Amino acid sequence: MFDDQGIERGQTIAPELRRAIRESRISIVVLSEYYASSSWCLDELVEILKCKKHKNQIVMTIFYGGVDPSDVRKQTGDFGKVFKKTCARKTEEERRKWSQALNRAGKIAGEHFLNWHNESEMIEKIARDVSNKLNATTVSNDFEDMVGIEAHLRKVQILLHLDDEDGAMFVGICGPAGIGKTTIARALHSRLSSTFQLSCFMENLRGSCNSGLDEYGLKLRLQELLLSKTLNQNDMRICNLGAIPKRLYDQKVLIILDDVDDLQQLEALANDTNCFGHGSRIIVSTEDQEILEQHGIHKTYHVDFPTKIEAREIFCRYAFTRWSSAPDGFEKLAERATELCSNLPLGLCIIGSMLRGKKEDDWESILHRLENSSIPKIDALLRVRYDSLHENEQFLLLLIAFFFNYYDYGHVKEMLADNNLDVRLGLKTLAYKSLIQISAERTIVMHKLLHQV
């Protein structure tokens, strides 16, 4: 916090105030009707927005009195008249940078005074938000040691276009079960949540549509859960499906919907980008690419399997208490275990944990058993995916498992042409649900652990 009272006013920001802005973690900009009457305030705003862009400083806005965000963005209405008067004797460059700064500030979703019946309640809410954001900006080390996580985060952040605050945006994260989608989503939430006004991580949505509620009741319940998490209010109750846009349309929010397996979940929780304020980001993780496409989400990060070197390091960190390589005598056994998992992170985690602290002889026995049978935890996970398929898709998946793994796509279509199956659509569905992959060489590939099941 800083207060400019007592600092001698001049044509430019005093050095001590500029330093205070740069050293702050949060800036709160109160945009009143006469805010733009001060060239000094406008210079402060330019500096604050520089810190937002280059230092990820959190900027919160309050549109005070009768000020409307659109008037700030466009410099219209009474706010615009005041601004034009201030600009009358200024250079073109000063007018340009101030206008751009006001346009950007007007797009930062904030508290609108006219939306509150009680000013003290608004102030209390802002104080809570500041406290929560300061707590959230505490550096988290939870994900820094995870193998390959930085590369994943960089690629997703490119898709997120975080500097673009013209509207809200959807981004998908897609890949097979156990590849690390939830881990990536959690790491994104940990890293980015402090730069948004509000954030919410909705975990493990899979199966929520099988709760026994009708469609309307299901959507109400999901919206209550999201608003409870986002607004940090326990057990919220709503009476209609317009609650999310009503509460969040002017808030810059980060919402992560994890393990989505039904289009209804997206229709309930994030039906449209217009439900959320400028700069909002909604990240959806799923195994089913078709759900993303049906919802109009076309910016999608497809999670690749780790490289052989990364897979071995992941395994070793679980098997040898965070060592990144196998100790003497365990090198070949570690290589066998990694090969058994075919680089699937969940398998590497489960088998690594299973072998931790065991002797070489025990490793040999356990690996021999696992090489000739499925892994129970992964078996259960993948069987849920299999059971959710239509019977024709189940049959096609079994045909691939028994006969056509690593076969040419065109060859399989020809061989099954006389069957009653719609092979093209079936293969597309299995690929969309991340149960098979179709390589660049048009080869059908089923992961080894799924093949074992």
Label residue 316 left, alpha or beta by phi (over 0 means left) and psi (-120 to 50 means alpha): alpha
Nearest to 130 by CA among 51, 219, 60: 60
Tell me which residues are annotated as active site. Answer: 44
Question: Among all chains, which residue has been given the structure tokens 């975080």?
Answer: 162
Spatial distance between the Cα atoms of 438 and 289, rounded to a whole number of angstroms: 14
Contact by Cβ (8 Å): 188, 196 = no
| Backbone dihedral angles phi then psi of residue 60, each to the nearest 5 degrees | -115, 140
Amino acid found at 70: S
pLDDT digit string, tens, across residues 314-354: 999 889 876 778 888 899 999 998 988 888 898 898 889 88
| Backbone dihedral angles phi then psi of residue 169, each to the nearest 5 degrees | -150, 140
Please say if the pLDDT value at position 2 is more than 50.
no
Neighbours of 368 (CB within 10 A): 11
Q: What is the pLDDT of residue 137?
A: 58
Contact by Cβ (8 Å): 379, 416 = no
Q: Hey, which residues does 254 pair with through a beta bridge?
A: 199, 281
Spatial distance between the Cα atoms of 282 and 269, rounded to a whole number of angstroms: 10
Q: What is the pLDDT of residue 22?
A: 87
Please say if the pLDDT value at position 168 is more than 50.
yes
User: What topology is assigned to 308-373 in CATH?
Assistant: Helicase, Ruva Protein; domain 3 (1.10.8)
Q: Do 13-136 and 378-452 fold alike per CATH?
A: no
Q: What is the pLDDT of residue 40?
A: 87
Q: Decide yes or no: CATH 3.40.50.300 for domain 378-452.
A: no
Please report which confidence band the pLDDT of residue 439 belongs to, taking 50, 70 and 90 as the band edges: confident
Nearest to 453 by CA among 370, 396, 388: 370
Spatial distance between the Cα atoms of 149 and 161, rounded to a whole number of angstroms: 19
Q: What does the domain layout of the chain look like in residue ranges?
A: 13-136, 161-302, 308-373, 378-452
CATH of 161-302, one of 2.40.37.10, 3.40.50.300, 3.90.1300.10, 3.40.1160.10: 3.40.50.300
Q: What is the pLDDT of residue 452?
A: 63
Mean pLDDT of the chain: 86
- Specify burial of residue 219 (Cβ count, 10 A radius: 0-12, 13-18, 19+): buried
Amino acid found at 111: E
pLDDT digit string, tens, across residues 370-406: 888 777 777 777 777 778 788 888 888 888 888 888 8
Instruction: Give the three-state DSSP class for 84.
Output: helix
pTM of the model: 0.70
Q: What is the pLDDT of residue 186?
A: 93
Contact by Cβ (8 Å): 303, 175 = yes
pLDDT digit string, tens, across residues 75-124: 999 999 999 999 998 999 999 999 999 999 998 878 888 888 888 888 98
Q: What is the pLDDT of residue 9?
A: 44
Neighbours of 10 (CB within 10 A): 9
* 20-34, 285-299, 425-439: range with lowest mean pLDDT: 425-439
CATH of 13-136, one of 3.30.390.30, 3.20.20.80, 3.40.50.10140, 2.70.150.10: 3.40.50.10140
The distance between the two most distant Cα atoms of the chain, rounded to a whole number of Å, is: 87
Please say if the pLDDT value at position 74 is more than 90.
yes
Please say if the pLDDT value at position 6 is more than 60.
no
Please say if the pLDDT value at position 126 is more than 60.
yes
